[in-house]
Amino acid sequence: MTTEDTFTVEPWCLREPRLELDQLASTEAVLTVANGSLGVRGTLDEGEPVGMPGTYLAGVHELRTMVYTETGSGDPESTETLVNTIDGTAVRLLVDGHPLDVRTGTLLHHERVLDFRAGTLSRELRWRSPDGRSVEVTSTRLVSLDQRGVLALRYAVRALERPVEVVLQSGLVANTQQPHLPSHPSAVDLLEHPLEPQEHDANGRLTLVHRTLRTGLLVGATAHHDVESPAELDVHGEATPDHARFTVRAKLEPGESVTLTKLVAYAWSDTHELPALRDELAGALTVARHEGFDGLLASQRTVLDGFWECADVEIDGDDELQQAVRFALFQLLQATARAEGRAVAGKALTGTGYEGHAFWDTETFVLQVMTAVRPEVTRHALGWRHATLPAARERATTLDLKGAAFPWRTITGPECSGYWPAGTAAFHVNADVADAVLRYVDATGDEEFAREAGVELLVESARLWCSLGHWGRDERFHVFGVTGPDEYSALGDDNVYTNLMLQRNLRGAARWVRRYPQAAEPLEVTLDEVAAWEQAADAVCIPYDDDLGVHPQSAGFTLAPRWDFAGTPEENYPLHSHYPYLQLYRKQVVKQADLVLALFLRGDAFTDEEKLRDFTYYEEITVRDSSLSACCQAVLAAEVGLPHLAHEYVVESALADIRDPEHDSSDGLHVAALAGTWLALVCGFGGLRQVDDGLSFRPVLPDELPRLRFRLLFRGRLLRVTVEPGQATYELLRGEPLTVRHERDDLELAVGVPVTRPTRPRPRPPLPSQPETRAPGRGTLRDDSRPGTPASAGHHEQA
C-alpha cells in the first residue's frame, strides 16, 4: 500500500480499509480526535503496536533549558515543550489468555473510520487467536466538542464460531514511553518521564493525578465504566502510581457479546491545588455520566450540524479534493472548538511536532478561516494573544524596543525559540496579529472586543514598528534587518510583506484610537504618536526593481544569484536538510510564499499587471519546502488567470496529511495548510476578499471543477456562494439584507432572493515555470494558455 491509497475517497469520512503497520505514526495523527483543549491521537485501542502515543492537554508543557556555546543578550533561556499526559484510550483484550495483537494470530478484517459528521473514530476488526478462537471487535471513540475535557469510548467484543473467555482491561496510563521523541537531545530525558505521581485510586472509578516536574502543572484523569453482557461478569479494579486498571472477565457463547462503555474526564491547572482539581474532575465526570455515551454522541452531532451549516464547501469534479476540504475543516474545528484561553499550535493537539508551539500561522491562516465560519473561535484565540501581552512587552524591552514583540514560537507567551535569524527577526508576527484583529472586528462588528482587547493589541504592535523602523535620507520609512515569511531569507531590509502588513497595522491602530478614545486613554497614546504612525504608514518603503519590473522580496533580493535548481537533485529537497542556511540566505531561492503572500493579503497595494509579473517571477524560484506555500500560490494563480495551476496547488495543500507525501505527518498535522485548503478554494476560485468593511468576490473556476459552493458568515449573516462556468450565484440564507460586490457590481442580497451574475472571462497568460522537479500536482500540468495541450513536467515554454 502506498500513501495514496491509505484511505478510500468518500465525501464525509476518512475510511482506512486495512491496517498497514509501517504507516501507524502517520495515521495516528490523521485519525486524531480532539476539541482544542484535549487531543487524542488515533492509536489502536489495545495500545500496541504504536507509532507515537499521545494524549495532549492544551497548555500542559515542560520547560527545557536552552543550551548555547556562547550566550548573547536577548537569547531565551528556556523553551516550552508539550508533553504526553494520561492515556485514557487503552482497552486491552485477552481471548482465552491470548492478548489481541494485530501482529499475532490472524487479522481477518480491520477498518477504521473518522466520521466528519458524527465526530467519531470507529473501528471494526475480526481476529483469530493463535489457538483458533475468533472474535469480532467494534469500538467508537470521541472527544467531546461540547465539553472541554471529556473522552468517551465504547468497546464491544462478540464471540464468533466457538465459546471464548474474554478479559477486558481498561486503563489510565501515565508516563507512556515515547518511541518518537523530539530531535533536540535535551528533550529526550524530559519527555521519557515528565509526570510525577500525586494520587491514584481504583475505588469505584479510576483516578490518576500527576504533576509536571518543572512547570508544576497538576494533571488529572478519572474514568467511569459501564458493562453490558448476557454473560456472568467478574469485575475488579486496581491502581498504581502510573497505571489504574478496570478489569472485566466474561465467558461468551457464540453470538454473545460484552460491551464496555468508558467515560474519562480530564482536568489540569497551573493555579489550583489538589482539592480543587479533585472537585473539577468529579464535576466533569458527573456531567459526562449525566449525558451518557449516547447523549455525548447526540451533542457531538448537534455541534457538527451547526458547524457544517456555516462552513461546508461543496466541490463537483474532484472527489478527492471534496473529501480533503471537509477533512481540513473538521480538523480545524477539532483544533479550536474548546481552545478558549489557550494557543492553537502549529500541529494543534495531534502530535509533538514543533514541540507544541504556536506560530504566526494561527492568525494568518487558521483565524482567517475561522473568522468566516466560526468567529467565536477567533475571539478566543485573539483573547489568548491579548493575555500574553505582558510577556510580549517584556520581550520588546529585552530587544531594546518599545511596545510589544510577540514571540516567533510559544505555548504560553514567552519566546520559545533560541536565536535563529529566520525566527528572531520575524517581527511580522506583530502585523499578522494586528491583521487578524482588524479582520475579525470588521467581519463581526464586535466592538466590545475592539475596546477590551483590540485597541491594546494594535497600539502595542504599532509602537514596536515605530521603534524598529527609521526614516531614511530619502524621506521614506524603512525597516532593516527583518525576516519575512520565507525562512530561506533572513535579516533583509524592507521586506515587502512585512512593510505592507505593518502599514495596515499602523493605519488600523490610528483609526481605532480615534474611534475608541476611552480604550486608548489608559495606554497613554498621544495625538503626536498617532500622527507618527500615520506618517510612517504613508511613507513606508516598498522596494521595486525597475529593470525587471517586479517587486523584490526585500531590498536587493533580485540582485542576488539564483540557486542552482538544475544542479539540485530531487532527493535533496527540502533544501534546509541538505544545505547550510548560510548558502540559502545568499541566493534567490524561496522556501514559502512571501512576496506572493503579500500579493494575496495586501492585494490592494498592487496592480493586476504587477501581480502577474511578480507571481511569474517568484514561481521560478519557490521550492515549497514549507506546507504554507502551495495554498498562497493557489490563490494568486487563480487571480492572475491560471486556474488549472491553482487547482494543482490546492490539491497539494489539501493532501499534505491524507497522502503524507513528505512523510512528516507522524509528528502532527499541518494545521495551517489545512486552513490553506479553504483559503485556496474560497479566496482563490471564489475570489473572496474582505475589503472596506465588506465582502468582494471575483470568481473563476478551472475546467476540472464544474461547480464550487461555499458558505460563510459576515456580520451575523449566513451567505452561500455558488460558482459555475460563466456565472456566480449569491444567496443570503440568514440575517438582515447584505450588500456584496461581484467583480465591479454591488449586489443587494435578501433572504430567499438568489442573485446570479455572469463572470467576466480573464486573459490566460502563459504558464510559468517552477524550479526543476518542483512542479505541483498529481499529474502532468497542462498549459493554461493553450487548453488541452500537454506540457512537459516541471518546465514550460512561455508562449
Each residue of 187-202: pLDDT tens digit? 555 567 889 999 999 9
Instruction: List the one residue out of 712, 714, 713, 688 whose CA is nearest residue 699.
Output: 688
Longest dimension (CA), the chain: 90
In a domain, 434, yes or no: no
Predicted TM-score (pTM) of this structure:
0.95
* 26 pLDDT above the threshold of 80: yes
Residue 40: CB atoms within 10 A of its CB come to 27
In a domain, 204, yes or no: yes
* 251 pLDDT above the threshold of 70: yes
* 494 pLDDT above the threshold of 80: yes
* 3 pLDDT above the threshold of 70: no
Helix (H, G, I), strand (E, B) or coil at 321: helix
Cα(710)–Cα(310) distance, rounded to whole angstroms? 9
pLDDT of residue 1: 35
Active site residue 487: yes
Contacts 24+ apart (CB under 8 A), 518-527: 518/451, 519/450, 519/451, 519/452, 519/455, 519/456, 520/455, 520/459, 523/455, 523/456, 523/459, 523/460, 525/459
Mind listing the pLDDT tens digit for each residue in 627-674?
999 999 999 999 999 999 999 999 999 999 999 998 999 999 999 999
pLDDT band at 784 (very low <50, low <70, confident <90, very high): very low
Cα torsion 430, 432, 438, 444 to 10°: value is -130
- Cα 661–chain centre separation: 18
Q: How many CA atoms lie within 13 A of 604 on its CB side?
A: 9
Mind listing the pLDDT tens digit for each residue in 507-538?
999 999 999 999 999 999 999 999 999 999 99
Helix (H, G, I), strand (E, B) or coil at 190: helix
Question: Any idea which of 230-244, 338-352, 538-552, 780-794 has the lowest mean pLDDT?
Answer: 780-794
* 790 pLDDT above the threshold of 50: no
For the chain, the average pLDDT equals 94
In a domain, 667, yes or no: no
pLDDT band at 793 (very low <50, low <70, confident <90, very high): very low
**Grid coordinates 526614516 are at which residue?**
471
Mind listing the pLDDT tens digit for each residue in 565-585?
999 999 999 999 999 999 999
Which residue among 487, 529, 619, 639 is the active-site one? Answer: 487
Q: How distant, in Å, are the alpha carbons of 93, 309, 640 from that of 603?
A: 58, 30, 12
Amino acid identity at 522: P
Q: What is the residue range of 176's domain?
A: 10-309
In a domain, 217, yes or no: yes
How many domains is the chain partitioned into structurally? 1
Give the three cell numbers for residue 295. 447523549
pLDDT of residue 320: 97
Mind listing the pLDDT tens digit for each residue in 411-450?
999 999 998 888 999 999 999 999 999 999 999 999 999 9
Angle between the 389-398 and 455-468 helix axes, to the nearest 10 degrees? Answer: 10
pLDDT of residue 190: 57
* 348 pLDDT above the threshold of 70: yes
Helix (H, G, I), strand (E, B) or coil at 590: strand
Angle of CA points 432, 438, 441, to nearest 5° = 135
In a domain, 188, yes or no: yes
Q: Is 664 exposed, middle or buried (0-12, 13-18, 19+ CB in 10 A)?
A: middle
Cα(358)–Cα(368) distance, rounded to whole angstroms? 16
Percent of the chain at pLDDT > 90 equals 90
pLDDT of residue 792: 26
In a domain, 721, yes or no: no
pLDDT of residue 69: 83
In our burial notation (b when 16+ CB lie closer than 10 A, e otherwise), range 304-343 reads: beebbebbbbebeebebbbbbbbbbbbbbbbbbbbbbebb
* 134 pLDDT above the threshold of 50: yes
In a domain, 568, yes or no: no
pLDDT of residue 693: 80
In a domain, 212, yes or no: yes
Give the three cell numbers for residue 646. 491553482
pLDDT of residue 200: 97
DSSP state of 681: I
Mind listing the pLDDT tens digit for each residue in 683-734?
999 999 998 789 999 999 999 999 999 999 999 999 999 999 999 999 999 9
310-323 mean pLDDT: 98
Q: Which CATH number goes with the domain that contains 291?
A: 2.70.98.40
71-93 mean pLDDT: 93
